[in-house]
Amino acid sequence: MALVLAMGGGAAAGELGVRLTWNGDWSGVAWASCSGEFGGLSFALREEVDILTLSHRILSGQVRASREWWESSLSGKLLASGRLDLSGKWELRGTWELGPGEVEAQAGLGTSWAGVTSGGPLSYRGWGQLELSVSPGWGELRWESPLPQVAPRWQLAAGLRGESWCSWRASWGPVGPPQLSLELGAGEGELSASSFFTLLPSPGGGGSVRLGGGPWSLKLGLNARPGSWRLSGSVFWDEGGLSGKLTLRFSRAGWSGGTAELGWEW
């Protein structure tokens, strides 16, 4: 658990971490991050360093303000190459009771500027979402489009919530092929399992099983497509602000890589 520090009516928390990865070649990242709230604003700042070359990778930050019916945020990212990217988001939202259920609506505008220091392009997008919940079921309709050219991509989803759950999602639009997928899951006590099936644009599927309680847990996952498959196994540990993760990955060719991660929150 993170230790929250009171600072002048606000609060802040931080994390230090390191991750080593082997995918045929070694790579490693260390990071330091802090987040908190002050004066009605929430903030997050994160610095990543390549530990093999001891060089800066990414410095990212975000400032966000939100109330019951609106949210606004500004994010920035400084890459090792010196490129600076900025993005902003403005969103309105509302929730209404409707008979035995609830309706939630969202509408927003976003902008991004890739390569501020080099005069990169400025782009805009808009989105809207409508969700109806009648326990244990729910349904959602969402659209998102670049602006000012309107070329919306639509997403329709529906499902059931609970200890056993299921959902299906379909999306389509003028850019990219249509997509259709199904997800199923169940959990009880320290054991949970989930599976997914992709029908469009190409068949595939997979699943995962997670077992554990307290500081230790184990997760096994499988992804499969015609002619290929990937298997992964992960061990997680989290206690007293310290956390760790070890993952091994396998494919038809044998062992394909692994990741070791250690973090400390305060």
Q: Which pLDDT belongs to residue 7?
A: 42
Task: Inform me whether the pLDDT recorded for 9 exceeds 60.
Answer: no
Positions of E strands within 80-227? 84-98, 101-113, 122-134, 137-147, 153-160, 164-172, 179-188, 191-200, 204-213, 216-225
* Strand-pair category, 137-147 with 10-22: unpaired
Q: Closest Cα to residue 261, out of 249, 58, 242?
A: 242
Q: Is 13 within the bounds of a domain?
A: yes
Q: For residues 154 and 168, what is the distance between their CA atoms, to the nearest angstrom? A: 14
For residue 83, tell me if it sits in a domain: no
Residue 19 lies in a domain: yes
Mean pLDDT of the chain: 93
The domain total for the chain is 1
Tell me the pLDDT tens digit for each residue of 96-148.
998 889 999 999 999 999 999 888 899 999 999 999 999 999 999 999 999 99
Q: What pLDDT sits at residue 101?
A: 93
The reply to whether 32 falls in a domain is yes
- Asked if the structure places residue 126 within a domain, the reply is no
pLDDT tens digit sequence for 202-241: 999 999 999 987 899 999 999 999 889 999 999 999 998 9
In a domain, 16, yes or no: yes
- Its domain, for residue 45, covers 1-66
